């Protein structure tokens, strides 16, 4: 951390400034994430920025770099580890490739709704999972949720999991998410978001795992006829910070960071929870057939997931046990 300079992370020692803080430092942090400014995670980042400034009387500033401006999530995590970027909202899907216990979040049908997942983020297993980032020089701070995952299909009206057999579906390159689909007999393509539209349009894939936010912002209703609002998995971003930077802050400032993030996470979930009906309607108004699938139909696939992933990591088992009770 550089003192005084515009940081990633610049901290200005202004102990004599009389601003009433414990050590009076001024920070100019950088935060990176992959989503566009219209996405809930960016809005949450803006809320985080606003709260940091308000709670620190302007001492803690944040510059936000959305839309993968600083590279892929792999690049971003490297930058956070090295300290050239301070904060990141990184998908739990990518984070699980660096720290496998994050796969626990992809236990299918583990949460009644988004609020239940939001509450589970404060559970002991969820906190222990965040702490696994420690050994990489990163402090895992919190989780933020966009909507839950749904299934979009180009031209097949999939009514039960078995109907997915033989379909080629875009699923984020995260082993637990891909395994869930593969267990139904589908094959998976780990395409990044920007490649999905043309892949489904040209028939390279038959459908995709997605969330309603991204379905709307990317206009997938133009290329996929059917939308099953399964809400089968949550979609957390992991809020993380360079460990040395965070540990270099006073306890009081660390508390400001944590409380500002919690306010941003609350804002995201409250806003997003109230939008499901609106999003369903928007997709339907744009010609997509929106429907539900009974979660009970997925029971064997849920059991298969738990049986496969629980034993891979005691933390995953602990998390699954805590959410399935
Ligand atoms: C994705 O499906 O890859 C994705 C979706 C989001 C945000 C980021 C990535 O809503």
How would DSSP label each residue in 109-126?
T--SSHHHHHHHTTSHHH
Nearest CA to ligand 1 atom 6: 214
Chain centre distance of CA 19? 35
* Poorest-pLDDT segment among 4-18, 74-88, 104-118, 167-181: 4-18
pLDDT band at 3 (very low <50, low <70, confident <90, very high): very low
> Would you tell me how many other CB atoms lie within 10 Å of the CB of residue 86?
26
Say which residues have a Cβ less than 8 Å from residue 259's Cβ, sequence separation at least 6. 51, 55
Residues 79 and 207 in one domain: no
Spatial separation of the C-alpha atoms in residues 245 and 80, rounded to whole Å = 10
Which atom of ligand 1 has the smallest separation from the CA of 214?
A: 10
Task: Round to whole Å and give the CA distance between 33 and 304.
Answer: 32
ipTM rounded to 2 decimals: 0.98
Please return the burial class of 296, using the count of CB atoms within 10 Å of its CB with bins 0-12, 13-18 and 19+.
Answer: exposed
C-alpha of residue 324 to centroid of ligand 1, in Å: 25
Dump pLDDT digits (tens) for 239-250: 999 999 999 999
Helix (H, G, I), strand (E, B) or coil at 209: strand
Residue 22's pLDDT is what?
54
Tokens representing residue 166 in the block: 């033989």
Residues 175 and 229 in one domain: yes
Same domain, 180 and 241: no
Phi, psi of 37 (to 5 degrees): -60, -20
Atom 1 of ligand 1, nearest CA residue: 193
Question: Domain holding 48: CATH number?
Answer: 3.40.190.170
Find the 160 Cα to ligand 1 centroid distance in Å. 24
109 and 256 belong to one structural domain: yes
Residue 175 has pLDDT above 90, yes or no: yes
Q: 54-59 long-range CB contacts below 8 Å, 24 or more apart? A: 55/256, 55/259, 55/260, 56/21, 56/253, 56/256, 57/19, 57/20, 57/21, 59/14, 59/19, 59/21, 59/24, 59/25, 59/26, 59/27
Mean pLDDT of 286-296: 98
Both 241 and 228 in one domain: the answer is: no
Q: Tell me: do 18 and 102 sit in the same domain.
A: yes
Q: Which residues of 314-325 are buried (b: 16+ CB within 10 A; e: fewer)?
A: ebbbbbbeebee
What domain range is 19 assigned to? 2-146+236-273
Q: At a CB cut-off of 8 Å and minimum separation 6, what does 31 contact? A: 45, 48, 49, 62, 63, 64, 65, 85, 86, 87, 88, 89
Measured from the Cα of 41, ligand 1's closest atom is 7
Domain count, the chain: 2
**CA-atom Rg of the chain in angstroms:** 20
How would residue 187 be classed by pLDDT, with cut points 50, 70 and 90? very high
Whether residues 85 and 116 fall in one domain: yes
Tell me the mean pLDDT in the region 117-131: 97
Q: Which ligand 1 atom sits closest to the C-alpha of 211?
A: 10
Residues lining ligand 1, judged by CB closer than 6 Å? 34-35, 91, 146, 172, 193, 210-211, 213-214
Average pLDDT (183-211) is 96
Please give the pLDDT value at position 192. 86
Across 56-85, average pLDDT: 97
Is 272:114 a contact under the CB 8 Å cutoff? yes
Query: What does the pLDDT average to over 289-302?
Result: 98
What does the pLDDT read at residue 217? Answer: 86
Do 262 and 317 sit in the same domain of this protein?
no
The backbone torsions φ and ψ at residue 282, rounded to the nearest 5 degrees and listed phi first, read -60, -40
C-alpha of residue 14 to centroid of ligand 1, in Å: 40
Window from 115-119, 133-137, 192-196 with minimum mean pLDDT: 192-196
Please report the pLDDT score of residue 20 as a whole number: 44
Could you identify the atom of ligand 1 that is nearest to the CA of residue 34? 8
pLDDT in the model for residue 7: 53
Distance in Å, CA 35 to ligand 1 centroid:
7
What percent of the chain has a predicted confidence (pLDDT) above 70?
A: 93
- The mean per-residue pLDDT over the stretch 252-281 comes to 96
For the cut 50, the answer to whether the pLDDT of residue 130 exceeds it is yes
End-to-end CA distance of the chain: 44
Please provide residue 156's backbone torsions phi and psi, each rounded to the nearest 5 degrees.
-110, 130
Q: Are residues 196 and 249 in the same domain?
A: no
- The rounded Å distance from CA 144 to ligand 1 centre is 13
| Confidence band for 6, pLDDT divided at 50, 70 and 90 | very low
Would you say residue 156 has pLDDT above 70? yes
Looking at every residue in the chain, the average pLDDT score rounds to 93
Q: Ligand 1 atom closest to Cα of 40?
A: 10
Mean pLDDT for 149-157 is 98
* Whether residue 266 sits in one domain with residue 299: no
Nearest ligand 1 atom to alpha carbon 209: 2
Instruction: Please give the DSSP secondary-structure letter assigned to residue 7.
Output: P
Based on the fold, state whether residues 29 and 102 are members of the same structural domain: yes
Do 220 and 172 share a structural domain?
yes
pLDDT at 296: 97
Angle between the N-to-C axes of helices 124-131 and 314-324, in degrees from 0 to 180, rounded to the nearest 10: 150
Tell me the pLDDT band of 8, cut-offs 50, 70 and 90: low
CA 237 to ligand 1 center in whole angstroms: 10
Tokens of 307: 């049986």
């Amino acid at each position: 951390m550089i003192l005084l300079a515009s940081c990633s992370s610049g901290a200005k020692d202004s102990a004599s400034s009389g601003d009433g803080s414990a050590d009076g430092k001024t920070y100019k942090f950088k935060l990176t994430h992959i989503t566009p400014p219209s996405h809930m995670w960016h809005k949450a980042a803006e809320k985080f920025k606003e709260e940091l400034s308000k709670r620190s009387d302007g001492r803690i500033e944040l510059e936000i770099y959305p839309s993968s401006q600083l590279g892929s999530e792999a690049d971003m995590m490297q930058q956070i580890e090295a300290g050239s970027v301070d904060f990141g909202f990184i998908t739990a899907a990518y984070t699980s490739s660096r720290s496998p216990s994050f796969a626990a979040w992809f236990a299918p049908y583990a949460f009644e709704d988004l609020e239940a997942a939001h509450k589970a983020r404060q559970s002991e297993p969820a906190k222990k999972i965040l702490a696994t980032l420690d050994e990489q020089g990163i402090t895992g701070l919190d989780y933020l949720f966009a909507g839950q995952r749904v299934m979009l299909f180009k031209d097949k009206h999939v009514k039960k999991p078995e109907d997915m057999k033989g379909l080629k579906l875009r699923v984020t390159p995260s082993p637990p998410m891909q395994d869930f689909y593969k267990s139904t007999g589908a094959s998976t393509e780990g395409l990044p978001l920007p490649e999905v539209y043309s892949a489904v349009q040209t028939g390279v894939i038959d459908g995709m795992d997605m969330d309603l936010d991204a379905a709307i912002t990317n206009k997938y209703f133009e290329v996929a006829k059917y939308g099953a609002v399964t809400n089968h998995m949550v979609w957390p971003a992991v809020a993380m910070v360079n460990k040395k930077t965070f540990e270099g802050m006073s306890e009081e400032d660390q508390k400001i960071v944590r409380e500002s993030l919690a306010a941003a996470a609350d804002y995201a979930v409250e806003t997003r929870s109230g939008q499901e009906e609106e999003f369903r309607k928007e997709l339907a108004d744009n010609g997509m057939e929106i429907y539900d699938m009974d979660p009970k139909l997925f029971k064997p696939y849920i059991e298969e997931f738990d049986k496969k992933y629980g034993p891979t990591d005691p933390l995953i088992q602990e998390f699954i046990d805590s959410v399935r009770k």
